[in-house]
Amino acid sequence: MSFHITPVNHVALNSGILDKNRTFVFSFIFFMNTITIKNKRFAISISEQTIQKEVTRIANEINRDLAGKNPLFLSVLNGSFMFTSDLMKQINIPCELSFVKLASYQGITSTGAIKEVIGLNESITGRTVVIIEDIVDTGITMQRLFDTLGTRNPKEIRITSLLLKPDNLQIDLNFDYVAMKISNDFIIGYGLDYEGLGRNYRDIYALVNTENE
C-alpha cells in the first residue's frame, strides 16, 4: 500500500471496505487529512462507523453463543480499552469483566518480547473465558496468554480481537471473534498507540509511506 503526500498535508489514500471474509481491503482514492505523531505521519484507514458496525456484529455473536455460560471477559490492556468499552456496552448476557496486562509492542514493530500476565486475581476454574484483544500480529503474545490461562483449568477459552494480521501470524490458534483482518500496516487510534500516543482517536490510522517527502 502506498501513499502520495501533498504539500497541503493531505494524502491520497485508498478508502477501506470489508470483503466477504471480513478482510479490510482498499478500493478507491480520496483525499483525507493526516495526523503527525513524533514525526510519523498517519492517515485514516478505518472509520469510526466501520469499527462500530463490526463491534456490534461481534457482540451479537457473543450474545448468541455464550448465553447461559456466565463468561468472564479478560480485557488486555492498554490497547483494548476502547474496544472493550464499546463491546461490553452491547453484551446483554450475565457476565463478568476483568483486566490483564501482557505486552509485546515496542516502537512500530512487534518484537515478540513477552511480559508476564498481570492483574488476573479471579479464579477461572471451570469458567468460560473470553480474551478481548485490540490486535493480533504475530500471535506470540496471544499464545503466551492462552497457555498461561490454560494452566488455571478454565472450561474453555475464546478469543475476540478487533484486528488480525493473518499474514504475520506465527502460531496456530483459533480466533473465535475477529472484527477485521488487515494488512501489515502499522496503525494507531481506537486504543492503539505509537510510543504511548494516539490511543484517543476514534478512527484507526495507518502509517504513511514518507519515502517521497
* Domain parsing of the chain, residue ranges: 4-207
Q: Measured between alpha carbons, how far is 188 from 166 in angstroms, rounded to an integer? A: 18
pLDDT at 18: 55
193 is a catalytic site residue: no
pLDDT at 4: 33
Q: What is the mean pLDDT of each run of 10 residues along the chain (213 residues)?
A: 34 47 47 81 95 98 98 95 98 97 58 65 96 94 89 97 94 94 94 94 89 51
- Angle between helix axes 81-88 and 48-65 (nearest 10 degrees) is 60
pLDDT at 12: 37
DSSP 3-state of 203: coil
CATH class name, domain 4-207: alpha beta
Q: Measured between alpha carbons, how far is 39 from 81 in angstroms, rounded to an integer? A: 25
Amino acid of residue 200: N
User: Per DSSP, what are the bridge partners of residue 142?
Assistant: none
pLDDT at 110: 55
Grid coordinates representing 147?
497457555
Q: Measured between alpha carbons, how far is 5 from 43 in angstroms, rounded to an integer? A: 10
Q: Measured between alpha carbons, how far is 179 from 58 in angstroms, rounded to an integer? A: 7
pLDDT at 33: 74
Q: Measured between alpha carbons, how far is 82 from 189 in angstroms, rounded to an integer? A: 9
Q: Which one is catalytic: 86, 134, 137, 203?
A: 137
